[in-house]
Structure 1
């Protein structure tokens, strides 16, 4: 039998004091940091409600794609799983099944039952929907975090809106979504670097000029007369994307400032270019203490 003194001796062994083991332990503790179950419950409702909006307003192309199956160019995952293009009838059935699954998932959170089952149904339906949507010549990286969210949320288990019990499973799910949010921006910065050959190659280009001339609103078209201002904007955007991983370690006021910066950027692009990036914006809620909302401040653990 292992005694308490034996446990102390083992934990203080030279191997456990090695920098590598301490680093691995610190990384694991960070990745599995527990969060209140109420936070995931509230986030689940937000995500499942947004999926309804997404398939009805943002990514509505699946049913029309069924009329032009010859244009289907499946992504790697669709090819690996041998997913064929959906017919209009199949797309319509999938739409209604996905909407019903989202409603059921929200009700499951409220009742505190069948949350894994309904969450898995949403994940499967939404992945099939998005794989078809992305198989016709356009890959929307703004959906990365949302697709990760519907995938990992069922792993959090049963959550209730007023249950503030800390949970590592809940913490892991939200951390995975946070990483996906940051990867959306950091990956974009790396891709700009790779395609342009250097950061300066993209930041000093005429990308903003092209975008404004193509779809700019009167709010932004005046900047075409000041090319230096657009170059400053491109450098600012690139640096924000490149250093986006810093957000993962921010807390308190600085975290809210960072989140506000990204959201204000997306608001500006929507007003000036009509690009909203809503799927990623919604997933920024994974960084927020949603359990502090007034209607969730109840029944804490002893």
Structure 2
């Protein structure tokens, strides 16, 4: 078990995953959860902190507090995405984002799609330093990715457990998806809803795939990536039909991917003809022309084969 939990991965994968997660945190503040800043206009007595917020304890949000968290988190997340000071910046981002989420979820609605992201933020500082493209393998980084993967799969499995616990078999045979389509469905969802019994079949399929999601850890690497691709396709369909985004969960799920192969900076340089590796490789001499001889050590290395200036070449 310990070998599986700490399976070594390339440091380049950790560097890429770190960049993805911290850039998503910055994007989350300005794209997905900017509404958290509006919570300060709500009367303080309506703030009912989550259990973790009561245990710490954290202060009731004020305009000044929320503004400080927002701007500090935005700056630190961008800096952390560069890979510098991974522990210091990583722990700071983790603490601030946790407080940001406690504020967001303490007014009656809790989103379960952020569990994997929060776990990723908690374990990334333990992975240590990592550079993009580094093929050196690290067990500490492997542990960070594995724990994040477990959190991602727990999100699926426990979602199915919650459906059956609170909805029972009625969740499978009821009108859950039909109500979702009525509330926030798209034109594509309206077309799907017209197919008899298709929504009921879809509800059975959703619960089945969530319950079977832990099987991803039992598959060979190639099939594991295929199953993760299925997970992503499921969320694409969800967005296209009932416009529910699981963006934080999708960011955390990149822990399954060989991100070290994604090198946008290198690709851009190659596209622009500025590949450093190509620039360092000397161009081959044209056929038929003698190779240039450098002075100094190269001439000495040629020994008797080097022509001597002033002496005829013949006998």
Q: TM-score range by the shorter chain?
A: 0.7 to 0.9
Confirm or deny that 1:195 pairs with 2:169. no
**Partner in structure 1 of residue 209 of structure 2:** 240
Aligned counterparts, 1:83-94, within 5 A: 83-94=58-69
Confirm or deny that 1:214 pairs with 2:183. yes
| Structure 1 CA distance for aligned equivalents of residues 62 and 227 of structure 2 | 43
**Partner in structure 2 of residue 273 of structure 1:** 242
Higher helix proportion (structure 1 or 2)? 1
Write the deviation string for residues 24-63 of structure 1: whole angstroms up to 9, x where unpaired: xxx1111111111111111000100000111111122322
With structure 1 as the length reference, what TM-score do the two structures score?
0.84
2:9 to 35, 60, 73: 35
**Partner in structure 1 of residue 139 of structure 2:** 168
- Greater Cα offset, 143-152 or 61-70: 61-70
**Partner in structure 1 of residue 155 of structure 2:** 184
1:80 to 42, 55, 74: 55
Deviation at residue 251 of structure 1 after TM alignment: 2.9
| Structure 2 CA distance for aligned equivalents of residues 84 and 293 of structure 1 | 41
- Greater Cα offset, 247-256 or 141-150: 247-256
| Structure 1 CA distance for aligned equivalents of residues 196 and 112 of structure 2 | 28
Deviation at residue 227 of structure 1 after TM alignment: 4.2
User: What CA RMSD, in Å, does the superposition of the two structures yield over aligned residues?
Assistant: 1.7
Confirm or deny that 1:224 pairs with 2:193. yes
- Greater Cα offset, 54-63 or 231-240: 54-63
Q: What is the DSSP-based 3-state SS (H/G/I as helix, E as strand, rest coil) of the residue aligned with 1:61?
A: helix
Do the aligned residues in 2 keep the contact of 1:63 with 1:87 (CA within 8 Å)?
no
| Structure 1 CA distance for aligned equivalents of residues 256 and 187 of structure 2 | 34
Q: What is the DSSP-based 3-state SS (H/G/I as helix, E as strand, rest coil) of the residue aligned with 1:239?
A: helix
**Partner in structure 2 of residue 54 of structure 1:** 28
| Structure 1 CA distance for aligned equivalents of residues 71 and 262 of structure 2 | 32
Q: What is the DSSP-based 3-state SS (H/G/I as helix, E as strand, rest coil) of the residue aligned with 2:49?
A: coil
With structure 2 as the length reference, what TM-score do the two structures score?
0.81
**Partner in structure 2 of residue 288 of structure 1:** 257
**Partner in structure 2 of residue 23 of structure 1:** none
Deviation at residue 70 of structure 1 after TM alignment: 2.4
Do the aligned residues in 2 keep the contact of 1:36 with 1:163 (CA within 8 Å)?
yes
Q: How many residues align?
A: 266
| Structure 1 CA distance for aligned equivalents of residues 220 and 60 of structure 2 | 45
**Partner in structure 1 of residue 230 of structure 2:** 261
Q: Runs of 5+ in structure 2 lacking a partner?
A: 268-275, 278-315
Q: Runs of 5+ in structure 1 lacking a partner?
A: 1-26
| Structure 1 CA distance for aligned equivalents of residues 93 and 218 of structure 2 | 30
Deviation at residue 65 of structure 1 after TM alignment: 0.8
| Structure 1 CA distance for aligned equivalents of residues 33 and 219 of structure 2 | 32
Deviation at residue 196 of structure 1 after TM alignment: 2.5
Confirm or deny that 1:63 pairs with 2:37. yes
